[in-house]
């Protein structure tokens, strides 16, 4: 049989635990929401970077193609000019100029191929990131909404539970209530603990047989000589 005050204190302890969880949720839930938003933002930034990279590569490729076209036109004109060369000196100078233009053309063609490959890689990355972003948003947006609803309900839940706590505390013997609050503030964690394997369920200090019998009777509040917590005997205590 459990002492009446002790039974009420067990109920009060459950309320205090739930209130503590609600209070903690006001801290960790916003962090969880920030992490979910950050995951979306990070993917969006990667997608933007890939898109910017693709645009930059295409702009440079267009410029390279224009330069290439210009050099090819000049090369064709110089090759046509070869037909009108009359002296070796003019021929040598023209051949040198043609070789230089060919080198520039070769470099531009190489760069054009490189830019084409860069554009293709960016395009693939954009496709993958777009799919990834859709999946992340599909999951995270719903979770964020759920967590926001949880935050919105915390205040009303705490108000309701606070009233329940107040009403319950009013039914408990003032001395027992004072002892409960003192232990809760001084020790933290559970105040009322069950006897387990004939020892305190909190500090595991073995209990004398006489004290165990007193706890079983439940006629008065018994505290642990080691940790000071209130002790209770439950049906499952020795399991």
For residue 236, the model assigns a pLDDT of 58
The span from the CA of 62 to the CA of 5, in Å, is 84
pLDDT 10s digits, 180-202:
999 999 988 899 999 998 999 99
The span from the CA of 1 to the CA of 30, in Å, is 44
**Residue segments in the chain with a per-residue pLDDT below the cut of 70:** 1-2, 235-239
Q: What is the dihedral of CA 117, 119, 121, 127, to 10 degrees?
A: -150
Q: Across the strands, what pairs with 222? A: 231
For residue 1, the model assigns a pLDDT of 47
Residue spans of the domains in the chain: they are 15-172, 175-232
CATH number assigned to the domain with residue range 15-172, chosen from the 4 options 3.30.420.40, 1.10.287.1490, 3.30.1490.190, 3.40.50.300 = 1.10.287.1490
pTM: 0.63
Residue with tokens 């067990």: 10
Q: How far is CA 44 from CA 121, 132, 142, 164, in A?
A: 18, 10, 18, 46
């Amino acid at each position: 049989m459990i002492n009446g005050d002790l039974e009420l204190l067990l109920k009060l302890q459950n309320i205090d635990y739930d209130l503590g969880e609600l209070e903690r949720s006001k801290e960790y839930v916003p962090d969880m929401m920030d992490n979910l938003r950050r995951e979306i933002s990070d993917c969006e930034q990667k997608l933007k970077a890939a898109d910017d990279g693709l645009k930059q590569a295409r702009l440079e490729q267009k410029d390279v193609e224009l330069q290439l076209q210009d050099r090819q036109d000049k090369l064709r004109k110089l090759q046509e000019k070869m037909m009108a060369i009359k002296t070796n000196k003019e021929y040598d100078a023209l051949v040198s100029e043609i070789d230089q233009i060919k080198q520039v053309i070769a470099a531009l063609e190489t760069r054009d191929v490189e830019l084409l490959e860069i554009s293709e890689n960016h395009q693939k990355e954009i496709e993958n990131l777009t799919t990834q972003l859709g999946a992340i948003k599909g999951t995270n947006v719903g979770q964020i909404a759920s967590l926001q609803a949880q935050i919105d309900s915390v205040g009303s839940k705490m108000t309701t539970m606070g009233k329940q706590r107040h009403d319950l505390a009013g039914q408990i013997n003032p001395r027992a209530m004072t002892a409960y609050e003192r232990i809760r503030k001084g020790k933290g964690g559970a105040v009322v603990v069950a006897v387990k394997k004939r020892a305190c369920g909190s500090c595991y200090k073995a209990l004398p047989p006489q004290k165990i019998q007193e706890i079983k009777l439940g006629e008065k509040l018994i505290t642990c000589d080691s940790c000071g917590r209130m002790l209770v005997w439950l049906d499952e205590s020795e399991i």
